[in-house]
Each structure stands twice: as C-alpha cells, then as structure tokens.
Amino acid sequence: MAALALAGCLAAPAAAAQEAKTPQDRAIGALTVFAVAYAAWIWEGRCHELDEARRAQFQRLIEADLLGLNQVFEPRLVGAATGSGRDTGQAAECGGKNAGLAAFGVEQASDVAATLKGLPPGYRITVTP
C-alpha cells in the first residue's frame, strides 16, 4: 500500500514544479517535490541502494534543501513535508517496485535546489491563520 502511495506521489510533484509560474507556485512546488525526495532519503537510509559517494551527495542535497526551504517557509510547513516524507519512506518496501527510488530522490533533491535558487532574493511565504 505504501509503495502505491509513493508511486502516486512521484510524477505529480515533478509535473507541478515544471508548470509553476509565479514565485509562490514554484516555492510550493519545490516543497512538494522535497517531500518526495525526503521519502526517498529515508528509504535509502533503510535500503542502501546508493554507493557511499552518491549517498553523501544525497545527504548534502537534503541538508541544503532543508536550509533553503526553512528560509522560504514557516517551520511547520517544512515539518509537514518532512513528516509526510518520513512516513512514506519508512513504509515503502526495499527493492522490487521501488528499485531506483534513491537515485530518483537525488534528482528530485537537485530540482528543489535549482528551484530555490531561482526564487527572488529574500522570498518568503507566510501562512496566516
């Protein structure tokens, strides 16, 4: 079931990020894609699909994305994305249908970094109650 949930999440965020036009749309798309990348990161920690160098690259990307996202969004929104990713990554089975997930996650994390760099300097989204 978790594999299905993860598979359903993979294509939509990437498409949403590509279609996004305003800074707000691009930022929200990046946060959505990050949740997928974070799920893959958590999955990689359990399943060990990547070699050591690629795993270290993935870790650096995730850390940089977290820093960047926390500059754009309130911590509770970034926490929601990491929580969703954590739940999905912990539930997804190793191998099988999920083979290649970690490599996909590296790509997604790289896309998030590029999107964040393309936002206007100092751009921030605040959610009001």
What does the CA dihedral 49, 53, 57, 62 come to, rounded to 10 degrees?
50
Is residue 32 a contact partner of residue 13, using CB atoms and an 8 Å limit?
Answer: yes
Length of the chain: 129
pLDDT at 12: 52
Distance CA 46, CA 95 (A): 11
8 A C-beta contact, residue 88 and residue 39: yes
How far apart, in Å, are the Cα atoms of 87 and each of 2, 6, 24, 109, 115? 9, 10, 26, 18, 24
Distances (CA, A) of 17 to 43, 48, 55, 106, 119: 22, 28, 24, 16, 13
Residue-wise pLDDT for 68-110, tens only, equals 999 999 999 999 999 999 999 999 999 889 999 999 999 999 9
Q: What is the pTM of this model?
A: 0.82
4 pLDDT above the threshold of 50: no
**Helix (H) or strand (E) run with residue 8 in it:** helix 2-19
pLDDT for 54 equals: 96
